[in-house]
Every structure is written in C-alpha cells, then in structure tokens.
Structure 1
Amino acid sequence: MGDAEYNGARRPMPRLSSSPAHGTDHAVLGLLRVLAAIGGTIAVVALLLYAGYLGYTDLDPPPVDPPDLGTPEVEAVGRRISVAGARLERDGRLWTLDLQGSPTAMGAARGLLSARPFIDLHRRVLDQIAARYPSASEAWGASVLLRWRYRGADAALPDAMREELAAFAAALPEARTGQYGPYHVLFLYQVFPDLAKRVDDVFFEGFAFAVPGRAGAHERGNFLVGRTFDVDLGHDFEPERLVTFHHPDGKYPFASVGWPGLIGVVTGVNARGIFVALDNVRTDDPPEDGLPLSLLARQVLEEADTLDRAIEMLEAAKVRTAGAFLVADGAAGRAAVVELSARPNEERRVVRGDGDPVVFMTNHFASDVFSGDPFNDRIRRDTASGARWQRLETLLSGTRRITAERALAILRDRKGPDGSDAGLGNRNALETLHGSHAVVVDLSSMVLWVGEGPSAIGPFRAFDLRKHLGRPQRLPQTLADLPADPLLYSAAYADYQQALAELDFARRMLAEGRLVRARTAAAVGLALAPEVGELYRVMGEVERRLGHFAEARRHFEQYLELSPGRLRDHERVRSLLAELARE
C-alpha cells in the first residue's frame, strides 16, 4: 500500500480544541463561583459584625434576685388585684397602683400587676412605629440608630433604679420586642420624652402652673397647682391613666400620674408636699451621657423635702437632654421653674419665678439665655407652646390666689391666645380634647384631683395624699370630686367625635384613591367640627389630586394654622404649597 493510500485510509481525525464560546462559559462559571464564595464570606462576616453590634448595643439588666411574690389574687368584683402588699385597682377610668418595699419588690409587683394595660399601650406604640417607618429598610435603619444612641445609657441610672427596672422586666417578659429584650424595651419607656426629640413631630406636650396663694401680708389662700400632659398616639387612643403611690424603702413616699411602663415621673408629689412636673423642650444642645429626665424627676420626689433642695438637685444633675421642671413646695409656699440644659454649665441652667405670685411653663424655655437657640425658638413659633404661653399669661395675670375649681377651669380653657373661641379640638388651646392626664393639686390640704378623661373634661377624682402617702390625720378629710365639664354630655362634643370618625373614613378613602368619597367624608367632618386641622389636610390632598389647586392651597394653609406641632408633616405640606404656587 503506497504512502498516499495509507495516508488517505489511516489518517486520524484531528482533535478539536474547545471553542472560544465554550471556554468563556467555563470562565464565567468560575468567576461566579468565586464571587459567590466572596459574597457568602461577606454575608457571614456581615452577620457576625451585626451580631456583634447587637451585643455591643444591648442593654443588659444587672443581676437581681426578684422576690417570689406569689400569684396575684383577684377580688370577686374584678376591680382589684393584689400581690404581697401591692395592689392594682380600677375605679371608673382610673387605675391606681400601690407599691412598697425594696426596688426589686416594687419592680416585680409592677410587672405582675400592670401587665395588661402595659401590653395594650405597647401594641399601640408598635403600630405607630410601623406607620412611621413603613418599609423594612426604614425600620431597620431607625432601629440601628436607636440602639447606637442609647448604648450603655442605663449606666447613668442609680443602682436602685436599675435593679427596679430589672425586676420589672423579669416579671414582664411580654415586653420583649424583636431583638430588644424586656429590660432594653422598658428602659426606652423611661426615655420616651427624650426619644420624641429625635423626630420632627411633637408627641409629648404639656403645661403646668402654680399659684402659691400669697394674697397679702396677713392673708393667704391655698397653694394650687394645675397640670395637663399629652402623649399623642392618635386621636382614637389614650394611654390608661395610672395613679401610682410609691412607698420605697428609705425614701420619701410619693404619688405619680403617668402611664403603664413608666417608673419615672412626669407629674408627681411627695409626702413632704414637693410637687414636680416635667415638660419636653428642645434646644441645640447635643445629647449627653446622663440621667433620663423622668428618672431625675422621680429622684427629686424621693429625696427632696424643700424647694431649695429640689432646685439644688436639678441644677447639679447630669442629664441626657434639656427639660423644663415646675417645682413647688407646699410647706414654704414657693414655686419655681428650672430650665435645664443638657450642657453642664450654670448659664444654661436657669431658675425663674421663685417669689412670684404665679409660675407657669409650656414646652419652650422663656429665659433670655435661650432666646437665640434656634430649636427652642422653633418650638415656640411652630408648635402650640407659644400660643398656650400667651393664654396662660392672660388667664393668670394679676392672680394672687385661686380655688381648685378655678384651676380646673384653666385646664379646660378652649379659647385662643386672644380670648376668642378656638373651637373644639384646636391644638392651640389649653384644652385640646387630647390630653393624656390632667391634675389639680392643693398643696396646702394635700389633696390630689386626677381627671378620669377624656382629656380634662371628665370628672376629677379626689385623693387624700396624707392618707395615701402615710401621713394620716386624726380625722380623715372629707373630699369632694370635681364634676365633669358640661361639654362632655353635649351635642357639640358628640359632633366632634363624629367628625373624628369622618376623618378616619376620609383617610381610608383617600388611601384607596376614592377621592369623591374622601371629600364627602371630610366635608361632613368639617361641618361638624371646623377646628379639626387634619380634616383640612385631607381636603387639600383631595383637591390637589382633582386639579383644584386654589382650593387645595386654601385647605393646606388652614391645616398649617390649626395643627401645630406636626413639624415633619408641616414640611411636606409646605412643599406641596410651593409646588401648587407654580401651577
């Protein structure tokens, strides 16, 4: 066989190398595997870092051994629950809680007895947070920032308060929320007023006044204090009104008015006749490491027996944020407001009003040293604080002494700064119909009246403080409750409530894009209660979407006038007004 034949018959097929496309596929797959490995490693590292971050920012309770208080006993009528000398009782719309003993005993009893009202409040708070941060990324970012801001913050608490909070948390495991343990959550409830300063809206508002009753050199009246405090969790929700009588070991007994979950004080009076009220303010001070304001107020009630001692404690305190305190001394017939900056210097810690016939405060500082503070000025101008200040100044001008009935009439005042009728629900009035608690205190007779709600228009129940705080008289006082405002039973108030129901319906229709139904509901609400500012915002949004720009501008402007305090919402509405101006 010749070479040609051999080569033709036996030539092997050439081996084909991988095509360029096939090689590229292998390269891409390899790259993807490498990237997946890198991504997995990064994810693991990120998870480890986040777990470390959570551990670093967790607030861990101190080791405590809460006493075994046993099982709470429920009385046959169901209005009273008691355990180991502590008692929770409901009378009408008020809860009263009696606590005594060591910090751990009081904390454990509080957790056992107040679980149900606390859980109701906590669920509402979580609903409000979910509405404010609707996306998972927003909620996560807010949580990360919150944890960082309050990392290690409980270290500023005295040991007794940390132990009480730890025992409270141990008895209330339902407070656990996601990655926040019960102790962490309950600590945040003590700094709620501070937390509210981190957002643009105003959720905590209040005012207080004191009239020592010095009518003349030889004539005195009783020392009266009035107080309203508002926690804004929506017009359809009011936190349970809780009156707590504390008898801590080795400290002065005191009464506080607040809400479930709060071991601090925003309104309270002790057995020595020292009254303390706390109001939220905002300044340009950066946050400091220090005691939450509500716990400082409690510390004053536990330890101060004179006005001078109370002022000394407030001025020397290291606090997280700024706050205003109205302090009154029933025995001395004196009262003052302490405007307390977070900055530890004397110039930004001002005492005013001591020796004056009338002392009052709202939610901004009034002293000249704060006149140039932009945050303080914004609160004065853009919230109800300035309007309420003017109205209190008018009502109390020239006053030398007042009765409990007159003090209550001031709390219920529904007029504007100029004395004109402000309408029902107007946020610029003293009585907004949204107050969370309201009290009148006679520091001469040691009588506390607490409003049952709603707001300050319901009846006020009388408490004999000498009896409840362990200073019984030979003869018990004959006390009379203060009656409800006639408004509570009026057609006007029923119309106001119906207007709020129309507001809720209009919002739902607007969210669903049913503009005509939303406009009709809002129009009904405005006809019933023309001072409800939120109705104008709904009407403005409806008219804007319908292309009725002039009407939208008018409604939005009315909203801004009638709804002070909603600073973030105000910015949005002002942006819409600027946009409408270009149409």
Structure 2
Amino acid sequence: MKKKHFILLTLLAIGIIWCLSWLFISPPALKDYADFEAIKVDTVTENHFTLGKNFLKKKNKNLWEMYSEGEPYEIGYSTGILAQGLLYRQEKAFVSQINELIPSKNYLSFLRVLIAFFNRNLDASISEEYCQEIYGMSQGSNEEFNYIGPAYQRLLNYHGAHDIGHALQELALVGCTSFAVKDDKTDDGKLLVGRNFDFYVGDEFAKEKMIHFVNPKEGYKFASVTWGGFVGVVSGMNETGLTVTINAAESELPTSAATPISLIAREILQYAKTTEEAYQIALRRQGFVSEAILVTSAADRKALSIEKSPSAVDSLYDQNNQLLTTNHYKTASMKSATAYDNAYASYYRMERLKEMINDTTVLGVEEAAFILRDKRGLKNTDIGLGNEKAINQLIAHHSIIFKPETKEMWLSTSHFQLGEYIHYNLDSVFKNAPISSTKSLAIDSLNIAEDPFVQTAQFKGYLTFKKLVKKYINLAEEERLTQAEIDDFIALNPSSYYSHEIIGDYYAKRNQTQQAINYYQNALTKEVASHHEKVNIEKKLSELQGQTK
C-alpha cells in the first residue's frame, strides 16, 4: 500500500512539474541593460516623471502623455517604470471587471489554467522585438497580481485577452465604428479619418488613457492611444501619415495561440508607409480572431480595409471617396449574409453612419466629431442612451480623428467621446520631444470643444441610470422596489429597451409573472441593441407566457 501511495505521489509530482513547465513562458533573450536600468526616475512633479530622455506627464484629469525612445527593451522598461501607477490601476480595473463578469472563484481558477494552457506558445507567435518590449514593461508590474501568474506572462496574456474579448460579442465588450473620407467628401479635399474605440472593460479601465509617442530604433516614429501594460496598437498614426485602427468582426472563439491583432496593427504602424505595405504585413501574420484593420496612407492617399480571419484575408479600398467600417465584413469572400439585417447592431450602425455622412455636404474635423458623438438611430430616432446600435454607445475607451496628410490628430477626453478632443501634430511632437518635457505636447488652440450634452440633465440622469442598473441587477430576492422607484428608473432612459428588460427581470425573479410579461413586451417595442439580445428577451417572454396558460 505504501509503495502504491509513493508511486501515485511521484506521478502526481511529475504531472505538476510537467504541467507547470508546459504553462510557464520563458523571458526573451536579452543583452546586458544594466547601465540603462541604473538610470533613476526623476520626479519633476506628482504628475510628471522622467527617465533619461523618456518622460510621462499628465495632460488633464484622465489623459497622460508619454514619450519613449530606443531599443525594444528600453522602450518597454522606461514605459513600465515611469507608468508603474498607471499599470497598477489598469490591471486592477481589468481584474475587477473580470471578477464582476465571472463571480465564481472556482470558475475563474479553471479559466486561468485554461487560458495559460491555451496561450502556452503565445510568445512563439509574437516577434522577438515585441516580446522584449513586453518583458521590459513587466518590470514595472505590481506583485499584487502574481497569483494570476508571473508579470511577463500576465502582460502577454492580456494582449490575447483583447482579442478574446472581441470574440465574446455577447458580453458587449466591443462595437467599434470608423470611417475614412477624402476629396469631394472633405472640406479641404484631404484624407480625414474618424474612429470610436468601443472596447468596454468597465468605467474604471477607461478612466485613464495614454497617448504614447514612440521613437523606435527601427521603423517609423509613431503615436498610439493606449493604456498601462499594453504595447499593441488599436488606434495610431506614424510619422509618414499612415493611420491604423482595428474593428472586431464576427468571430469564433480561437482554438490556438496566434499573433494578437493589436500586435499586427503595431507592426503595420511601425513599419508601413503605404496601404500595400500594410496589407503585406497583415498577410504574413496569422491572427487570433476575425478583425477589420482600417489603414489610411498619406503617401498614396488611399484608405484600405484589411479583413482578416485566422484562416483568410481579403481587402477593400475606398469607393466614391469613402470607406466605412463597423463590425462586419464587406468583401465578397469574407462577408456573412446574416450581418446584413437591421436586427444586427453592426449593420444598423453602418446604415446610420452612411446616413450621417450622406447628409453632410463636406466633412471637417468638427463634423467628424459630431458624427462620432451621435447617440440616435436611423432617421434620427430616439433609441435610448447606451444602445449598441448607436455610433456613440457611451462606452468608448477613446475616440480619435486623424488628418494623415497634415499628420494631425484629435483625441477625446472623458466622458467617452463627449469631452474635449485634444489636438496633436506629429511633426511638432517629434521636433519638441524629448528636448522639452516641461510643457504639453498638444496644441490646445486647435482643440474641439466639449459636447454641450455633457452639461444636460439627461446626461446626468444617464450616469445615475448606469449606477442603478448595477444595483437593481444585484438586488437580493427578498428586496423590493416601490412603484415610484421603478417609474423613476424607467424615466432616466425611457426609450431604452434595457430599462424595461431590467424591470422585467426584477419581476420574473420574484415570480410576478404578469408584471414581468408587461415589461418584456414593452422592451420589445423599443430598438433592441442586438439580434442576440432580442432573441433572449423573446425567449424569457415566451417561457412566462407558457406558465400563464
């Protein structure tokens, strides 16, 4: 018996060691950076830090400006060390949101092992250059989250998590909108690009964003809108006037590790000048999930949508001086017939985008901001605030406008894309940085003003609505709402199907069948955000109606 136990324990130990070695990702090979790591951070003010020629400073309450230069590890290391506080707050917000979405600790533990196994070869799908940068950045990570995994491994996995979030469309993590127009569509004939990045991982995650200006040893200088712990690109422009933005497309859950789409976008931004060069980079990289990469180039004055899945790639150039992208494919080889139905948020949003651009004689940056801030539905109907079918879903991590030929960009500040858009000119930025890190790199005289909607009672009511949504969803079964509380809640967002669905759920949970039926029926008279959600409400309604027969 003892011998049997010993054999079982030995096999178990071997299995654990084998499993850990399987899941562990080794750091990349590096040369000696002892001299660079010996440079100390200089704290200029509580919101301004320098490390050699690299610096981080706060522009306003939620926007940070960072400048980095050098080799990949140096860029990553200086970013991680200078932005330690940002890295910590972003990781904390990310982990908190995951815990909220998946409250079961046992299931979370299982998912951690599953994702670690799934991504065990992730580093092999990422270029050595970006592995070194991520490893450098990991030196600024907080040990509080080591229970999830080693810092380097965590940051690698977070880049994959962005792609997995795109695949999990039913969680409503994504719903981006972008467009490019030129010639007779713009007020000066030049290329103009607008983009909403609706990647939602909670309000805390979107609270602080960073505009990162990077001067790499190899490739083009570029600017990228990002957050602490992330080296990929979701929205950016390089010194040649090439822009890159990414939009999720309908996708299956990935079955094996590949290059995260944000790192493909990063490679394009760093190494491409023309749309053809961008396409060739996308062609030779295998991606995690399905994505549309919108590329515009000042060099060839073109806009190109690269539609990429794990198994195929196709592309579409601008037609009639415009190219519009939401969350479905449009090329003949890639498009899905089901996407072309108004019940689907992506198609509905595309139609609204076409409607707004066609209704505008010519577009300048002010008109682009007006479109990106639009909260209404087709034919200007009220579809409720926060609807996925709206161009502005009031969840954006950021919104940005580019003029590639003049290398100008306007970046939104909170709330969402309603706040002031801050103006940057890349020629000016890279001329002045790192010579002077004491003043903002922005040109504030060219900013786009805050949307007046921010100061309205309707917007303040919507913020209250969001807080009450969380509270009412999590009410204990014995807790009760008064009719006045219910009426006040509906009044905060009366045209939203979601207001009525939540109250329907409240009554269904308490076996008040007829009241639940009434509110579900009311919800279905509104513009429901997605086909998936409409089917879900119809299913709940049908089940309750079956109980009353």
Instruction: Normalising by structure 1, report the TM-score.
Output: 0.84
Of 266, 276, 279, which residue of structure 2 is paired with 1:311?
279
Of 227, 238, 253, which residue of structure 1 is paired with 2:221?
253
- CA distance in 2 between counterparts of 1:320 and 1:80 reads 37
Of 471, 493, 515, which residue of structure 1 is paired with 2:480?
515
Of 265, 272, 284, which residue of structure 2 is paired with 1:297?
265
CA offsets, 1:98-156, max 9 Å, x none? 11111111111111122212211211222222233333331222122212211111112
Decide whether the 8 Å contact of 1:350 with 1:367 is kept in 2.
Answer: yes
**In the TM superposition, what is the alpha-carbon distance from 1:438 to its structure 2 partner?**
0.4
Query: 1:63 and 2:29 equivalent?
Result: yes
In structure 1, what is the equivalent of residue 437 of structure 2?
A: none
Query: Which stretch shows the higher mean deviation, 569-578 or 241-250?
Result: 569-578
Query: 1:167 and 2:132 equivalent?
Result: no
Of 548, 553, 556, which residue of structure 1 is paired with 2:517?
553
In structure 1, what is the equivalent of residue 183 of structure 2?
A: 213
Structure 2 matches for 1:101-180, cutoff 5 A?
101-174=70-143, 176-180=145-149
Of 450, 453, 466, which residue of structure 2 is paired with 1:484?
450
Of 307, 316, 321, which residue of structure 1 is paired with 2:289?
321
Decide whether the 8 Å contact of 1:425 with 1:531 is kept in 2.
Answer: no
**In the TM superposition, what is the alpha-carbon distance from 1:204 to its structure 2 partner?**
2.3
**In the TM superposition, what is the alpha-carbon distance from 1:331 to its structure 2 partner?**
3.4
In structure 1, what is the equivalent of residue 404 of structure 2?
A: 443
Gap change, CA 1:170 and 1:547, over 3 Å in 2: closer
Gap change, CA 1:500 and 1:252, over 3 Å in 2: same
In structure 2, what is the equivalent of residue 73 of structure 1?
A: 42
Matched to 1:208, the amino acid is: S
In structure 1, what is the equivalent of residue 56 of structure 2?
A: 88
**In the TM superposition, what is the alpha-carbon distance from 1:355 to its structure 2 partner?**
4.8
How many residue pairs were aligned?
533
| Local SS of the residue matching 2:287 | coil
Matched to 1:503, the amino acid is: V
CA offsets, 1:337-391, max 9 Å, x none? 1111211xxxx42211335311111111122323447xxx469766521221111
**Structure 2 residue ranges without an equivalent (≥5):** 434-441
| Local SS of the residue matching 1:582 | helix
Gap change, CA 1:371 and 1:302, over 3 Å in 2: closer
**In the TM superposition, what is the alpha-carbon distance from 1:270 to its structure 2 partner?**
0.2
- CA distance in 1 between counterparts of 2:388 and 2:413 reads 21
In structure 1, what is the equivalent of residue 322 of structure 2?
A: 358
Query: 1:504 and 2:470 equivalent?
Result: yes
| Local SS of the residue matching 2:446 | coil
**Structure 1 residue ranges without an equivalent (≥5):** 1-33
| Local SS of the residue matching 1:231 | coil
Query: Which stretch shows the higher mean deviation, 135-144 or 106-115?
Result: 135-144
In structure 2, what is the equivalent of residue 28 of structure 1?
A: none
Gap change, CA 1:399 and 1:502, over 3 Å in 2: closer
Matched to 1:136, the amino acid is: K
Matched to 2:104, the amino acid is: S
Gap change, CA 1:485 and 1:179, over 3 Å in 2: closer
Query: 1:423 and 2:384 equivalent?
Result: yes
Of 413, 420, 424, which residue of structure 2 is paired with 1:452?
413
Matched to 1:142, the amino acid is: L
- CA distance in 2 between counterparts of 1:163 and 1:558 reads 54
Decide whether the 8 Å contact of 1:404 with 1:440 is kept in 2.
Answer: yes
**In the TM superposition, what is the alpha-carbon distance from 1:230 to its structure 2 partner?**
1.6
**In the TM superposition, what is the alpha-carbon distance from 1:321 to its structure 2 partner?**
2.2
Query: 1:53 and 2:19 equivalent?
Result: yes
Decide whether the 8 Å contact of 1:121 with 1:239 is kept in 2.
Answer: no
Of 319, 326, 332, which residue of structure 2 is paired with 1:368?
332
Gap change, CA 1:43 and 1:201, over 3 Å in 2: farther
Query: 1:535 and 2:499 equivalent?
Result: yes
In structure 1, what is the equivalent of residue 426 of structure 2?
A: 465
**Identity rate, percent:** 22
Decide whether the 8 Å contact of 2:224 with 2:237 is kept in 1.
Answer: yes
- CA distance in 1 between counterparts of 2:98 and 2:159 reads 17
**In the TM superposition, what is the alpha-carbon distance from 1:565 to its structure 2 partner?**
5.8
Matched to 2:193, the amino acid is: V
- CA distance in 2 between counterparts of 1:131 and 1:486 reads 33
Query: 1:283 and 2:261 equivalent?
Result: no
Matched to 1:482, the amino acid is: I
Query: 1:393 and 2:354 equivalent?
Result: yes
